[in-house]
Structure 1
Amino acid sequence: MKLAFGAIALLLGTDFIWATKTQTKQNIWQVAVIGAGAGGSSTAYHLQQYAQQAGLNVNITVFEKSDRIGGRTLTINPYDDLSQRIELGASIFIEKNYILYNALKEFNLSKRAPDEDSSSVLGIWDGEQFVFSFNEDSSYWWNALKVIWKYGIMAPRRTENLMISTIDKFLRLYQEPYFPFRSLTQRAYELDLHKATGVTGEQWLKNHNIDDLYAHDIVQAATRVNYASNLGRIHGLDTMVSMAPAGAMAVEGGNWQIFDKMVQLSGAAVALNTSVTSLKYWRDEALAKYDLKTRSAGKNSNKTELYPVKFDSVIIASPWQFAGISADNDAIQTPIDTIPYVQLHVTIFASPFSYSPAFFGLKDAKDLPGTILTTLAKGEDHNSGSDGAGKAGFFSISILRKTVNPKTLQPEYIYKIFSPEKVTPEFLSRLFGLKVPDGIIDAPEDDKENVSPISWYYPHVFNSYPKALPRVTFQDPIVGPWLFYTSGMDSFISTMETNALMGKNVARLLVDSILALPNYALAGEEKQKILGRLDHDKEDVSKEMEDL
């Protein structure tokens, strides 16, 4: 209930929206965006758009502690060959991801199909046996008959219908009267999505009469590859998102380009390799400002400096517990949730060899799927093994593509593994049925092509997404006076698109708040519309609290 009460304070308290600062159209509103991932990039882009539409002058500064824009979108080059690209994180989006899909078209970026295995065969393995497999080269009817034969006709049909109805409810967040939103908790209740977030995926499927075996084999394989979570450790809404990959696509050259273009078009000043270490809010009569201290990467990485610009508004677009920012109590007046994140190991490597059928209990390599998803074995619970990986020990292995090693000019496969722990040479030796030297992981890049059977190797660890345990209250986007936070969306739904949506939402809230200031010169009709929207949210939150 703490978050819902916080929402009322945000709507009714004079320290938040009705700040003492006044602005005319001649003033420039200084905005700091901390983080250049999906949320921060989208905030900057939409803030500039909304401000231009309203005739408002904004000056945006984006701070990013790494050397690149894109956050969890990361594209790498196998063999350090710039002509080859692979998505390491945030690999795909779909047409119903309206912000990303529209940006793809608007920015004239080229669309491509996601990396897919060359065999077209997908199998689901429980650490002991393959519980199901299908071949995309086979006819639709043959694959449908295989599903019906094992799981019946109702389970897949009910799952698809449930996924569609749930996602359709969520998509209403893009439109008035649900957009913009000051309380994500309020919107979850209004759209009836709290019923999905308030239970595990396992219970959500049971509540809708979906067969346990289909849930265990098919749906759980999807939640593991998408969120590294079993059905008993993820809420129903993220479970439905895991089942909605239809029409998947990626950007040629890397998905990060969408966010890079957003920042460019925002006109923001960009400070890469720059961490914000502290923010201080101060108020003096009619002025309300933020001072930021920053630290640059490099030789003087221990030195913090007061940033020369004082900011009217700050948007924190990075998970708070990873941001490393200290803030005084006058700034953060609604506590920010500390949310446990999944630590996911993503390992991409190249080899001229196919993995061994013996590892999977098979006799013939022709029976091996190119993509292998996993589920729990019989008798295992949702906490079995390392972080719930169970006997399988990993969440997925896939052959992304066949390629040619540019150094040896020999054909090779590019592999990708999702796992809860670091991939070891011992594991790879069993996977290939060949000795993988202990030094392969740490071998210099120039020596890797000489170390059989791995010619190129790239491990990475992400704090990839929250452990989406059931909950019905969510972090609100306004956390202090002219201070906004985007990462509260992660525990609701964690995707590139939903983080971009929260960025767009925060941008709209900020512009509305500026335009609603008592002394702001704005046409009466537009101002009344904005004030009406604020009053609508105020009444709805109050009613929600009465009901609760």
Structure 2
Amino acid sequence: MVATLAHWVVVFTSLAGALGAAPPRKTRDRESVRNVAIIGAGAAGASAAYHLSQYARDEDLPINITIFEKTPRVGGRTLTVHVYDDPTSGELPVELGASIFVAANRIMHDAALGFNLTLNNPMPSNKGDLTIIWDGENIVFETTAGGSSWWWDAARMWWRYGMSPYRAVSLVKTVVGTFLKLYDPPFFPFRSLTQRAYELGLERVTGVTGEQFLADAKVNEDFCRHVLQPATRVNYGSNLAHIHGLETMVSFATDGAVAVRGGNWQIFDKMIAASGATFYRNATVESINFKPEGPNSVARALKKYAISVMDNQAVRTAFDDIIIATPWQYSNISTGRGIITHKIDKIPYKELHVVLFTSPYRLRTDMFGLPRGGTPPSNIYTTLKAGTAADPDNVVGDAGFFSLSTLRTVVNPATQQTEYLYKLFAPKEVAPVFLDSFLDSDWKDKQHEMPEGQEQQIMDGSSGDGAEPNKVTWYHMQMFHPYPVEFPRVTFQDPIVGNGIYYTSGIESFISTMETSALMGKNVARLLADDVAGNAGSGGAYVSPYRGMPTTSRQQHEQQQQQQQRGDFFQSMENDLDDLMMMDEL
């Protein structure tokens, strides 16, 4: 009788809708709402909140989301700072890390467009900008922006490396194309990353070092050392001998590199705002425990979780599900017995020091073997010397740093003088005196006009008021644990680690980027939504945030992207190198 009545209610409601009458508004009691806690407001946490809210809205799921973030900000490793520590200077904030994403990063790229954020070229090259690869003693490769036509670059590359550049790019496209299958059914969503890796054949790529993977593909050893290894060093702090093949390929996948004007963190800020979640900043989660009625009950609906934050403040809401969107080993969260049923692996993370600094001086030439008085390098990326075995305890080798880039010119608000903004990546803390050693106080800038009198002040070492200036006028240093040590492996942490407990950082040892963190956030959101809906479905196809965006806007953006990209590897090698080295994926 109940089933029959329910049937007629459905029929009546459908008929009312067809006749234009508004269907009765659904009401839910408090007990039917699924309360979800997300710990962490970085790429994974923001993505999980955003996509879970989308699934809940589209599928009419009763879900309430609460986010806890231990810092006062959104974005995790997408961190910007104000040059000269002056937010009123008029200069755009600069990224400390996670500087770019690429066209293949579907979630990041489409979200930026969907939220109408402005995308920029992260480091536009000026004609004549010199980029060098340095092994600590010699320049092994160099390229000048706009310095020669693409056919000359092609001939030069062919003569030096044969087919290796083409083989490397083809390999990248094949591997990245395979990885992108994770975005759509039947591979999305996934309860086991290990299983998906095997189904896609990617364990053959993650199970060997980048060095082995490239050698098997007959990529020239010199090309690997001169071009590919600098990319893995700047992006992941690793040489090819100590990073797996998949992460190596990701380091070289740079087509269509872009960044959000003002900081990539804005993508995640918009995601959280769009999710409608309750958001607590400066809320460090200290423990997760069962509510008193939880551990003694078999029924899933009765198993509720209690969260406490720093200073022993208990959160009044009882949660049905928890998404841990931060590396477990750095969270310092304690859990009650039986909450984590699948052990979370403790994996080693890299230590990276990022330094931003400004100076009126250009980089030295003689330090890198260039002629004194010649064009100074704009960007320096490093590799190991030929015949030097990669040492995991001394990754950086003789060079002493991973990369040193000239980002742009800025105006010092204290002096109103034009200066250069630099960014350095190193495995250890860097002292200002070390930065001074890179700068050439004798180099006369011929490319940028200066206010009258400023050039002479710089050249004679005076500040105009009789004071002796420092070569470095401002610097900011930040230490990160940005990504794991990406040793070869064929098994990976699964995203479900307990009954209603989800974990996103397991993907970090597979691929560590903003995009893959966002993908795992979306993945656990889909798994959780399926659980709420009471089905084990494979989830819907990838839905682009382009939806709702005016067609003309999308077409204009796609045309711009097509103009920026190019199909031939050789047409502008210096642009590829700039994109390659600016990944900065923290």
Assess same fold via TM > 0.5.
yes
How far, CA to CA, are the matches of 2:67 and 2:468 in structure 1? 43
| Count of paired positions | 476
Picking from 75, 87, 91, the partner of 2:95 is 87
Supply the distance in 2 between the matched residues of 1:235 and 1:481 (Cα, whole angstroms).
32
Q: 1:140 aligns with which of 142, 150, 168?
A: 150
User: Helix, strand or coil: the match of 1:209?
Assistant: coil
Partner of 1:123: 132
Q: Which moved more, 1:140-149 or 1:331-340?
A: 140-149
Which stretch shifts more, 114-123 or 187-196?
Answer: 114-123
- Output the amino acid matched with 1:375: T
User: 1:151: which partner in 2?
Assistant: 161
Match of 1:414 in 2: 421
How does 1:418-497 map onto structure 2 within 5 Å?
Answer: 418-432=425-439, 451-497=469-515
Match of 1:192 among 193, 196, 201: 201
- The one of 362, 366, 379 equivalent to 1:371 is 379
- The question of 1:248 aligning with 2:257 is answered yes
Q: TM-score, normalised by structure 2?
A: 0.79
| Equivalent position to 1:212, from 221, 230, 233 | 221
Deviation at 1:136, TM superposition (A): 2.2
Scaled by the length of structure 1, the TM-score of the pair is: 0.84
Answering whether residue 212 of structure 2 is matched by residue 203 of structure 1, we say yes
- Between the aligned partners of 1:469 and 1:531, the Cα distance in structure 2 is 33
Do the aligned residues in 1 keep the contact of 2:246 with 2:511 (CA within 8 Å)? yes
Distance 1:365 1:68, change over 3 A: farther
Contact 2:125 2:145 in 1 (8 A): no
1:107 aligns with 2:115: yes
Instruction: Rate the CA distance shift 1:135–1:328 in 2: closer, same or farther, 3 A.
Output: same
The reply to whether residue 341 of structure 1 matches residue 349 of structure 2 is: yes
Structure 1's 515 and 397: CA in aligned 2 closer, same or farther, altered over 3 A? Answer: same
| Displacement after TM superposition at 1:54 (Å) | 1.5
User: What residue number does 1:33 align with?
Assistant: 38
- Which residue of the partner structure matches residue 361 of structure 2? 353
Q: Does 1:304 align with 2:312?
A: yes
Q: Please tell me whether the aligned partners of residues 35 and 319 of structure 2 are also in contact (alpha carbons under 8 angstroms).
A: yes
- 1:74 is aligned to 79
Partner of 1:418, secondary structure, is: strand
Distance 2:469 2:296 in 1: 65
SS at match of 1:259: helix
Report how far residue 245 of structure 1 moved: 0.9
Q: CA deviation at 1:403?
A: 1.9
Correspondence for 2:526: 508
Alignment map for 1:378-397 (pairs within 5 Å): 378-383=386-391, 387-397=394-404
Q: In the alignment, what sits opposite 1:316?
A: 324
Q: Does 1:96 align with 2:101?
A: no
Deviation per residue, 1:347-395 (Å, 9 max, x gap): 00000011221221223343432111100012321117x6310000100
In structure 2, what is the Cα distance between the partners aligned to 1:343 and 1:76? 20
Distance (Å, rounded) in 1 between the aligned partners of 2:68 and 2:503? 14
8 Å contact from structure 1 (residues 223, 231) kept in 2: yes
Cα deviation per residue 1:188-216 (whole Å; 9 max; x = unaligned)? 00111001100000000011111111111
Unaligned runs of 5+ in 2: 1-26, 443-466, 540-586
Q: Which amino acid aligns with 1:241?
A: V
CA change 1:434–1:422 in 2 (3 A) is farther
Name the residue aligned to 1:47: 52
Q: Distance in 2 between matches of 1:350 and 1:178?
A: 47
Displacement of 1:100 after TM fit? 0.7
* Number of the residue aligned with 2:583: none
Q: Distance in 1 between matches of 2:436 and 2:493?
A: 45
Counterpart of 1:352, as a letter, is P
Kept after mapping to 2: 8 A contact 1:117/1:370: no
Cα displacement string for residues 152-174 of structure 1 (whole angstroms, at most 9, x for unaligned residues): 2x100000000000000000000
Q: Secondary structure at the match of 1:274?
A: coil
| Residues 146 and 198 of structure 1, relative CA distance in 2, 3 Å threshold | same
Q: Give a deviation string over 1:92-148, Cα, whole Å, max 9, x none.
A: 001111101111111011111103465532110000010001122132222222222
Using the TM superposition, give the Cα deviation of residue 328 of structure 1 relative to its aligned residue in structure 2, in angstroms. 2.1
Provide the C-alpha distance between the structure 2 equivalents of 1:28 and 1:52, rounded to a whole number of angstroms.
13
> In structure 2, what is the Cα distance between the partners aligned to 1:483 and 1:373?
42
Moved more, 246-255 or 134-143: 134-143
Moved more, 80-89 or 480-489: 80-89
